[in-house]
Amino acid sequence: MANLSQIRREQMIAFLEKLKEQHSDDESIIAFNQIEKELTSKKYGLVWEEHEEAVDSQMKDNIPVFEECKDKEIVYNEDKHYDFLLEGDNLHSLHLLEKTHRGQIDVIYIDPPYNRGKNDFVYDDAYISEDDGYKHSKWLSFMAKRLLIARNLLSKTGVIIVNIDEHESGPLLCLLQDIFGESNNVGEIIWNKLNPKGDAQGISAMHETIYCFCKNKEAFFSQENVCMRKKPNAEAMIVKAQALFKKIGKRLIPEDVAIAIKPFNYSDDIKKDFYVTYDLELVQKEFQNWLSRQKFSGGEKAYKYIDETGRLYRGVSMAWPNKKTAPDDYFIPLIHPVTNKPCPIPERGWRNPPSTMAKLLSEGRILFGEDETKQPERKYYLDENMYENVPSIYENADSADDMLAAIGVQFDYPKPVSEAIYVCSCIQPNATTFLDFFAGSGTTGHAILEMNKMDGKERRFILCTSNDGGICDEVTYPRLKTVITGETADGGHYSEGYRTNLKVYKTSFVSKSDDELAESLLRHTIEMIQLQYGVNVDGKKYVIIADDDEMDSFEKNYSSYDELEAVFINQDVLLSSRQEQLLRNIKTFVVPDYYFDFELREAGELW
C-alpha cells in the first residue's frame, strides 16, 4: 500500500502531464520537466524549501576576501603557530576556507542557532519568529549550505560534532545523514544538564543532543582511542590502592575504625587494642570497603583486587567470544598450579590460541581459583586499561556565566569549557586542527587552549563568527584576548594566560567589475597563505613569490633574508638550478594557481 506522500506525489505527476498537454511551448516543458524530476528523484528522506540568503546574492557579483585586523593581533611567540578568529558571515568564511583548508580539518565542533522562534536564529539580518511558516525550512536551508562545505573541509579521519536542542534535533539528524551518510554516523551523546527548563509546556527538557558524524568511518576508526574516554575514577582508585599498599607491615588503626571511635575520645591506652598489623589481605578488605561507598561505575568497581605488587586488577572471562566453536587446539586444558589437575574449559573453547595462553601463563596473567573446579580468568590491570568507550549519556551541570562575568562580557547560554573539552578529547583525541563556524562566545577556542595547557600538545583552532549585535567585538574577541593574555579589558588580572598567538580577519568583498581586480585580490593573497599555514608573513621570515620576476629578485637579494624560514611559490614559477640550490635548505611550499591566477578569479570559477 502506498503511503499518503507517495499518493500525493503520483497525483502531482499526473497533474503535470495534463499541464504539459495544455502548454506545449519549450519554456513551459523545460519547467515542467524540472518539477517532475524533483518529484521523482527522492523517495525517502528530508525535504525542505531552499532559500537564498543575502550572502548568496552578494557572491554572485563579488569575490569574498579576508582583511587582516592588525590592531587585534596577539603575539607571544613568533616561533609558534597562529590561531585565527574570522569575523563575518560564516558562509562567506567557509567558502574561503574551502580553498585553504579543504580536507585539512580534523574536528568541526559547532553549536548552531537552535531556532526556538524566540530571537535566537537570525536569517538575513532578521530574527525568525515562532509563527513563521517557513522557520524550519529556512533553518534547514541555512544549515545545509554550511554543512555541505563542512564535509569538504574535513580530513579523511575527521569528524563533525554538533550540539542541538529538541527544537531541531530530528531534522538535523536527517540532514547529517543525508550529507555525511548514515554509515558515517558515529553515534550521539545525550548531554544531561541536570537542570530542567522551568518554562516548558509538557515534558521539561533538561538535555541537549550531540551528534557525531565522521568523513570516512573506516579511516576514522583506524586511529587509536577514538570515541574513548579515560575512566573518570581510575586515577583516584590507583592512588587509593597505592596509599593502602604502603601500610603493609605497619601497625596502625584502620581508617574506618579510626573514624568510628573518634567521637569517644579514647585514651591512647585504650586505642592500643584497635591497632592491627597490615598485610595484603587486610589492605584488600579496606580498599574494597572504600570502593563500595563510591559512586563509581560497575566497570570501574570490577577492579577491586590488589596484587602483591600493589597494582589493581580484575578477572575477565577467556571464553571463545562468538557462537561458533573454536578450533581444536583452543580446547587444551589449563593445569591448576596447586592441585596439578585440569581446570574447566569454556564450552566453545578458549578465546586465545595455545601460544598466547602459554605467554599469559608465563607472565602471571591467568587467575586460578582455590582449586581446579573454577574456570580460570585473564588478569586485567587497571593501569593498562585506563580507557573505556564513550557512553551515550554525559552529565554536566557546569555553567560559564561566572567565568564570563569575571572577564567582563555578557552572552546568553554559553557552553561550559568542560563540556567542549570532554567531547573534543573523547571523540577525536588525535586531532590537531579544529574549526568552529558558530563560535559564539569563543568556548571552543578557550577549550583548545586549555587542552594544550593540560597535555602540552599544539592543537590549533579557527573560529568564525558574525558581528551581529557586536558579538565578535564585544564577546568573542575580548574573551579570547583575556584568556590568552590573562588581562581583562579594564586592565584587571584574570589569570596567567595561555600566552599564544592570534590573528583576526574580517570578511569583505571585492567587486568582480573592479577595474583593478587583479591588484585588489593580490593584496589579499597574504591572508589566505597565513591562514592556510598558520604563520605570520612579515617579509623576512616568510616570503611570497607569485611569478618568475619575483623569484629572480629574491635570488639577487637572498643575502638580506638572514631569518628566512619558508618560501611560498606559485606553482607556475620555473626555478633555475641556482634558485633550487638556494631553496634546498629552506622550507618551500607550492601555492595553488587560484591564489594568483586572476583570470580564473575574474571568471568567478575559483573565488
**In this predicted structure, which of 71-75, 145-149, 160-164, 564-568 has the lowest mean pLDDT?**
564-568
**In this predicted structure, which of 5-14, 94-103, 310-319, 517-526 has the lowest mean pLDDT?**
5-14
pLDDT at 4 > cutoff 60: no
Kindly give the pairing relationship between strand 460-465 and strand 82-87: parallel
Q: CB neighbours (10 Å) of residue 137?
A: 16
317 falls within a domain: yes
CATH value at residue 217? 3.40.50.150
70 falls within a domain: yes
Residues of the chain above pLDDT 90, percent = 66
**pLDDT in the model for residue 600:** 44
141 falls within a domain: yes
pLDDT at 166 > cutoff 80: yes
376 falls within a domain: yes
**In this predicted structure, which of 12-26, 247-261, 516-530 has the lowest mean pLDDT?**
12-26
State whether 200 and 63 are in the same domain: yes
pLDDT at 231 > cutoff 70: yes
The number of domains in the chain is 4
Residues in Cβ contact with 234 at an 8 Å cutoff, skipping those fewer than 6 apart: 300, 303, 382, 386
Stated pTM of the model: 0.83
What is the gyration radius of the CA atoms in the chain, in angstroms? Answer: 32
State whether 192 and 125 are in the same domain: yes
**pLDDT in the model for residue 606:** 42
Residue 179 in contact with residue 117, Cβ under 8 Å?
no
Q: Tell me how far apart the alpha carbons of residues 503 and 70 are, in angstroms, rounded to a whole number.
A: 8
State whether 65 and 181 are in the same domain: yes
| Residue range(s) defining the domain that contains residue 590 | 537-602
The more confidently predicted of residues 562 and 330 is 330
pLDDT digits (tens, 9 = 90+) for 533-584: 998 887 678 888 888 998 999 999 988 887 888 999 988 899 999 999 999 8
153 falls within a domain: yes
Residue 486 in contact with residue 473, Cβ under 8 Å?
no
pLDDT digits (tens, 9 = 90+) for 31-81: 667 666 655 665 566 777 777 888 888 888 888 899 999 999 999 988 889
State whether 32 and 72 are in the same domain: no
Exposure of 567 in the CB half-sphere (CA atoms within 13 A): 23
State whether 65 and 174 are in the same domain: yes
Q: Examine the fold and report which residue of 336, 353, 381 is the final residue of a domain before the chain moves on.
A: 381
